[in-house]
A = this chain, B = another copy of it.
Amino acid sequence: MFKKFKIPDATIGRLSMYSRYLIEADKKGITTVSSQHIAKATGVTPAQVRKDLAYFGEFGTRGVGYNSRELYNYIMKILGLNKQWSVAIVGAGNLGRALSQYKGFNQRGFNISCIFDNDPKKIGKKISNINIYSFDSLAEKVKDFNIKLGIIAVPASAAQEVADKLVKAGVRGIINFAPVNITVEENIILRRVDLAAQLEYLTYYLEEI
């Protein structure tokens, strides 16, 4: 297998979904699943499931299907989730707090190691046992905790500054929740998540003519 050539972004997202179904199936004692089962559970076509998996290798048995646990492990490996990742959240506001307390990240191998803010009233406090550090100490802490992933949850006006500091400190992948376009050097993986735009997608389709 493996990441030699360009694979559709959508495939990566679907692998996440598949893996969630597979771990559930395994928990329920369903040891073998077919592309049809996976497809049904995740809302895609069976051909799509097989195509997605085929990018990375052969994981099934013809006439039988896939072993749930085994395929789960393969997918987690493909996604880089066969290890723990330390994550920094920048911005201890509404969104930063919600994300900091989210148990779901842990279940997938993500550790929110620290939170950064520039508000003196917040620095030194904790959010469910995670320390809030000053924005100034970001570089130092990112190195201490070996953090490679960062989440930007600050106002749009500060997003680029935060991204620059994260990258300089050694962060390699960033999720930006601020509704603004930021730029990073070539080799940094950047993902923008625009929640208002999601609502607007709905209204686009609901508004007639």
- A residues near B, CB below 8 A? 2-3, 9, 12-13, 15-17, 20-21, 41-43, 78-81, 85, 87, 94-95, 97-99, 101-102, 104-105, 108, 110, 148-149, 172-175, 179-181, 183, 189, 191, 193-209
Contact = CB atoms under 8 A, between A and B. Distances in A.
A9 to B, nearest CB: 7
B197 A173 contact: no
In the complex, the count of this chain's copies comes to: 2
A203 B119 CA distance: 30
A106 B104 CA distance: 28
Q: Taking each of A12, A41, A148, which has the highest tally of chain B beta carbons within 10 Å of its own beta carbon? A: A12
B199 A108 contact: yes
A181 B42 contact: yes
B149 A209 contact: no
B179 A205 contact: no
